[in-house]
């Protein structure tokens, strides 16, 4: 079963962002702005978030691995917008569905789905060898669904789950430009996460449905990263960060290799 509203909203948001970027050259041309395809490549991302699903007392973890194709577009004045699309593997550790007739506890392999993302970076201020930029990012994963048999009961049973999630991040980035080909940076972001997991259980003629949600879970992250120009054409981008919360720390990691046009 899907979460129609959440999923549609996520897809529409991504499509709107893609359309906006796609239409941007036309508008930009009319406005006299020049849009340049800068680079394209592949990125890998790993992120973990500890959340409390609505109605639960215990926390649970969302662990996601994303592999995406990525394109960077330049909008002049140093503004770069990146679009990405790919596959996501998401694990929902310690998630339980306690309101179903037969309670379910998730200990299954990660669910595979699709991901769409958009990221923007805009320089705001430059002084000496430092530059402060504003950065924003939105990524969503959808299309994850699976059916499991429920065994051991007198009648046949199954559980069907579907899930989607989306994360947005916004914050400043402080880059050090001294090294030229290597640009290290520190980034601090406010992060927002929404997720939904709908589980439908069927046991003979006994049917139950439970939807778990995380609506707008806020946290902050701190990350260290570097953009490295390996050659005139090849660039590597890497970032590693933490998302602290009371009682622990989540992590994020991303690595990308891009071919510059």
Partner 1 sequence: MTTPSRRSARAAAALLIVLCAGLGMSHEGLPRQMKRVAPARVRPARAFRAEGPAARRLRPIYAADRVLVRFRPEISEAYADGLLRSYGFPIVHRIGAIGVYSVKTAAGASVAETLAMLRRNGDIQVARPDYRARLADIPNDPYFQNYQYSLRNRGGILNVSPDIQPQMTSGADIKATTAWDVTLGDPETVIAIVDTGVDMTHPDLSGKIVSAGHDFANNDDDATDDVWHGTHVAGIAAADTNNGVGTAGVARNCRILPVKVTDANGDGFYSWIIDGIIWATDHGASVINISLGGSVPDPFLEDACKYAHDKGVVVVAAAGNDGIASVTFPAAYDAYVLAVTASDYNDAIAQFSSFGPEVDVAAPGVWILGPAPQWYVGEGGLPYLFASGTSMASPHVAGLAALIKSAKPGLAVDDIMKLIRYSADDVNKTTLPGRDDHAGYGRINMTRALAPFILK
- Binding residues for partner 1, per CB under 8 A? 46, 48, 52, 56-59, 63, 65, 89, 91, 93-94, 96, 98-99, 101-110, 148, 150, 152-155, 157, 159, 161, 186, 188, 203-206, 208, 216-222, 242-247
DSSP 118-160: EEEEEEEEEETTEEEEEEEEEEEEEEEEEEEEE-SSSS-EEEE
Q: How far is the CB of 241 from partner 1 (least distance, A)?
A: 10
Q: How far is the CB of 48 from partner 1 (least distance, A)?
A: 7
Q: 73 with 37: CB under 8 angstroms?
A: yes
Pick the closer one to partner 1 by CB: 180 or 247. 247
Q: How far is the CB of 185 from partner 1 (least distance, A)?
A: 13
Pick the closer one to partner 1 by CB: 53 or 114. 53
Tokens encoding 78: 């140093």
Strand partners, 197: 163, 212
Q: How far, in Å, CA of 153 to CA of 204, rounded?
A: 9
Pick the closer one to partner 1 by CB: 81 or 104. 104
Pick the closer one to partner 1 by CB: 21 or 95. 95
Q: How far is the CB of 162 from partner 1 (least distance, A)?
A: 13
Name the residue among 164, 158, 132, 173 with its Cα closest to residue 145. Answer: 164
Name the residue among 198, 68, 204 with its Cα closest to residue 139. Answer: 68
Q: How far is the CB of 66 from partner 1 (least distance, A)?
A: 12
Tokens encoding 132: 């402060």
């Amino acid at each position: 079963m899907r979460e129609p509203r959440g999923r549609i909203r996520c897809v529409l948001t991504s499509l709107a962002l893609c359309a906006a970027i796609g239409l941007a050259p036309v508008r930009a041309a009319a406005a006299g702005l020049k849009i340049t395809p800068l680079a394209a490549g592949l990125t890998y991302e790993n992120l973990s978030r500890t959340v409390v699903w609505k109605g639960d007392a215990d926390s649970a973890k969302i662990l996601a691995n994303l592999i995406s194709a990525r394109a960077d577009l330049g909008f002049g004045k140093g503004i770069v917008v990146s679009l990405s699309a790919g596959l996501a593997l998401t694990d929902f550790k310690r998630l339980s569905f306690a309101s179903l007739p037969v309670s379910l506890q998730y200990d299954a392999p990660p669910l595979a789905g699709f991901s769409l993302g958009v990221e923007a970076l805009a320089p705001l201020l430059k002084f000496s060898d430092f530059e402060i930029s504003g950065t924003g990012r939105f990524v969503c994963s959808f299309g994850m669904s699976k059916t499991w048999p429920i065994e051991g009961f007198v009648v046949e049973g199954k559980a069907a789950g579907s899930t989607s999630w989306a994360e947005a991040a916004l914050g400043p980035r402080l880059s050090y430009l001294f090294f030229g080909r290597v640009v290290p940076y520190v980034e601090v972001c406010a992060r927002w996460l929404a997720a939904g997991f709908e589980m439908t259980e069927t046991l003979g003629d006994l049917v139950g449905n439970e939807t778990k949600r995380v609506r707008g879970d806020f946290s902050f992250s701190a990350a260290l990263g570097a953009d490295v120009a390996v050659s005139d054409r090849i660039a590597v981008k890497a970032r590693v960060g933490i998302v602290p919360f009371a009682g622990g720390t989540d992590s994020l990691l991303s690595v990308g290799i891009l071919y510059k046009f």
